[in-house]
Structure 1
């Protein structure tokens, strides 16, 4: 039996394979520490064989991706000065191959397929956590929180955040109907429950902020690009003013109090101080990619002990830029920040200039979520992490010419017939 190439690599015809591959990738990212190396091999098996189907179609013009590889290549260079060269080399290889998988997914999957696969994946991850997960006692704040099958409530909260976001995107932006609309509702409710059960203030606040942002952008997407830019500019000024006023009157402390947190963010501020001090010792190039949290290293052992991390793994400075500064110095941090900001502004520019661009709206939401979380979490600099997969997927889409498409999802706002042509 011969399988047509299009059902594997053509974005308009590979929905079935794409949804399955995305969903299984989400599950591997969530629980690879539970299932071991076999799950990682299964993840590679989902994406790398697509290069053999049609290399030129799947790989595309590699010169367009050079800026996306910047941080991964810098991680390789850090091996030469790393305090733990073997650790850095292994992690750099994993990160690079993980990046390539994300770009293969970007080349072969549409954003709508990504949303559908993400909904299935988040649903699968959260159901598994509800069935086989449990609670964890936090010695720092003296509370119990539901962590599911994860080692951290923040990771459960992140998947719950993604479940809420992609359910909203599929239902509102892509106008899901029938079974998919029901699926969005079920996964959205499951994600909302898991979000609050995890008691992760970071995940709850960032989810509400990004969904509100995307809802506002969706409301103005029906406008002509010129009017859309005017509304966006005015809304940005008003939001900045309101945010400044809220901070002035102590809104942040009030919000944290709702979750039983204080201004130290459950020890994060102390951890940031320690990270800044560590970065100051090797400010330009760092200690090497993943060369700080190594068993046997005095400072890492001290912080693990202070924060009751008995496993001596899965810990970080809870700030992407501090973590990057410690491991890759100023050089790596600037490259990483450049990629993230370029992704955000690139999709914002497409959203504001293209007649109607639901794909850019969704990817702008993804980039916004990762940017907001980057100040309190580390989602985009580790291999086999859902954050870094979505990060490079969104960045890679900027290398694909924008399709100026008026889809049937928006028929109430469009007169005339639908059309699509490359931009």
Structure 2
């Protein structure tokens, strides 16, 4: 293989020069430091604590013009550097999985190349370059996690991460002006995050992950797992995020449906139909469902203004239908194309509150199609894995793909740089391809 032929001599040379460091990388204490590094950066990529502290506990409507987030850029750059260094140091251990990941998931890699190419036609080429580097660095971190740890170890790391988020959020609830919102959404729990919706999304994923763990054979302490599940769900309710509550209920229903159907024998086709029907039901009746929930909660049934801006967004997408405005080339306040949207809806928008629309704005229909094909192929592979070798550990990627498809109908977290959602997506996509290849081998790979 050409890649391996070129890479091997380079890594051999580095090993000779830095042999003491490579020897250190094989020690147990180094392995513990690696895990600590991964957990710390999952926490940072989720924007936990640091954004809340940098803004002084500011709430929605306070404005962000004078807040300096420059330190975050330093954190991200440090992560890219350390991750690349770890890949080199651990190359003997990581190379098989790393090369397997590179040789599969073709649409995903084409999508990343398309992101970088969008600099050519971007409205904000400098911003596109920076954002592209950020996305590549974020994906590399996710790939490193998949190469370094087994699937079970990855799930355990995620459980520890969500456990830390839960504990620190509960602690922050006791800090005035931080853990509980005091502004527009007074009384809503936001934990260690700057907004209740961000916290709600994190707790939605935490609830589903703990629920899957309660059913897994490798679950060490089911009582603790159920406690994590119950606490996470309580936090979703406490966040007063209507969309997060809806998506949490739907994911719980999905997981229980998978438990009943089990994707075996003649039930496989019925399982596919049921899951597809569930998703299309959500897409078709999302606004009606949301309005019903909002009505029960006594809130304005307009998806908090989201539906008012989507028509304007669609008109801007049509102006650059195929290629878009460049990755991260649209939303720049009064200094970008976003000015026209802001002027039309009289609202200082940070994004369109819809991940699919934002991706189409940045990369056009082509970019959106590339990522959607990646998600679709991953979902199909995940379902085939469940049919062939049912294991609760294989449920997590399927659950996360559904979570991604649902949550991006009302929030924007699809394909973003320096985001924990992108790391989780990378884990779901690449781990599924590895698990799939283990069962079916190269000859039986789906042509992705």
Conserved? CA contact 2:354–2:412, under 8 Å: yes
Structure 2 Cα separation of the partners of residues 284 and 234 of structure 1: 31
Conserved? CA contact 2:310–2:352, under 8 Å: yes
Structure 2 vs 1, CA of residues 87 and 298 (structure 1 numbering), >3 Å: closer, same or farther? closer
CA offset at residue 41 of structure 1?
Answer: 4.5
Structure 1 Cα separation of the partners of residues 139 and 286 of structure 2: 41
Conserved? CA contact 1:173–1:218, under 8 Å: no
Q: What is the correspondence of 1:101-112 to structure 2 with a 5 Å cutoff? A: 101-112=141-152
Structure 2 vs 1, CA of residues 58 and 5 (structure 1 numbering), >3 Å: closer, same or farther? farther
2:190 partner SS: strand
Counterpart of 1:177 in structure 2 is: 220
Counterpart of 1:27 in structure 2 is: 43
Conserved? CA contact 1:167–1:187, under 8 Å: yes
1:36 partner SS: helix
Conserved? CA contact 2:203–2:233, under 8 Å: yes
Structure 2 vs 1, CA of residues 36 and 247 (structure 1 numbering), >3 Å: closer, same or farther? closer
Conserved? CA contact 2:351–2:412, under 8 Å: yes
1:219 partner SS: helix
Q: What is the correspondence of 1:3-402 to structure 2 with a 5 Å cutoff? A: 5=26, 20-31=36-47, 33=51, 34=54, 36-41=72-77, 43-44=79-80, 47-52=83-88, 53-54=90-91, 56-57=95-96, 59-61=98-100, 62-132=102-172, 133-136=178-181, 145-178=188-221, 181-221=222-262, 225-233=264-272, 235-236=274-275, 243=281, 247=285, 251-297=289-335, 300-301=338-339, 315-352=350-387, 354-402=388-436
CA offset at residue 184 of structure 1?
Answer: 2.1
Conserved? CA contact 2:313–2:341, under 8 Å: no
Deviates more, 1:324-333 or 1:121-130: 121-130
Conserved? CA contact 1:64–1:399, under 8 Å: yes
Structure 1 Cα separation of the partners of residues 416 and 279 of structure 2: 31
Report the aligned-residue RMSD.
3.5
Alpha-carbon displacement from aligned partner over 1:315-367 (angstroms, at most 9, x marks no partner): 21111211111111111111111111111122112212x13233322211111
Structure 2 vs 1, CA of residues 89 and 42 (structure 1 numbering), >3 Å: closer, same or farther? closer
CA offset at residue 135 of structure 1?
Answer: 4.1
Structure 2 vs 1, CA of residues 174 and 200 (structure 1 numbering), >3 Å: closer, same or farther? farther
Structure 2 Cα separation of the partners of residues 7 and 400 of structure 1: 26
Counterpart of 2:3 in structure 1 is: none
Q: Which has the higher strand share?
A: 1
Structure 2 vs 1, CA of residues 308 and 249 (structure 1 numbering), >3 Å: closer, same or farther? closer
With structure 1 as the length reference, what TM-score do the two structures score? 0.80
With structure 2 as the length reference, what TM-score do the two structures score? 0.76
Structure 1 Cα separation of the partners of residues 29 and 369 of structure 2: 36
CA offset at residue 39 of structure 1?
Answer: 3.3
2:413 partner SS: coil
Structure 2 Cα separation of the partners of residues 89 and 348 of structure 1: 36
